[in-house]
Amino acid sequence: MLDNMPRGTITIEEIEMGMTRSLRKVVTDEDIEMFAQVSTDRNPVHLDDAYAQDTIFEGRIAHGMLTAGLISAVIGEQLPGHGTVYMGQTLKFLAPVRPGDMVLAEVEVVGIDHSKRRVQLDCRCLVNGKKVLIGEATVLAPSGKFD
């Protein structure tokens, strides 16, 4: 289930400090299985209930990069949106995301360099109001100017 804000491209000329966009998604068993197949990361902590019970997580968890992918979706679809080029991303994983968790992925504009079309975004994912992932992204935003 995705609960997205309106999609579209926000050009460098339109971006303002403090702008935010987000999406919500329930992470399903199918999502985890598909991510394992696409990424080839078949760590049993993600796929095997019995194995995962004996880990520090005491149960299966989603891949951290699956959760981080939700940040990418907000950036690529909403802020700045289509035409955005990722330049860098830092991530810190604070807590596990489990099958069935509703993840809120948010980005917020914290820096703008209009001359270089670069935007710094504070990135976070939350489950039940608790941060599970934080980081910062640098992106090249699309321009509406055709000089």
pTM of the entire predicted model: 0.91
Whether pLDDT at 1 is above 50: no
User: Domain residue spans in the chain?
Assistant: 2-140
pLDDT at res. 18? 98
Q: Which DSSP string corresponds to 90-140?
A: EEEE-S---TTPEEEEEEEEEEEEGGGTEEEEEEEEEETTEEEEEEEEEEE
Domain boundaries 2-140, corresponding CATH code: 3.10.129.10
Alpha carbon distance, N-terminus to C-terminus of the chain: 41
Whether pLDDT at 129 is above 60: yes
> What pLDDT, in 10s, does the model give residues 19-73?
999 999 999 999 999 999 999 999 999 999 999 999 999 999 999 999 999 999 9
| 3 state SS of 9 | coil
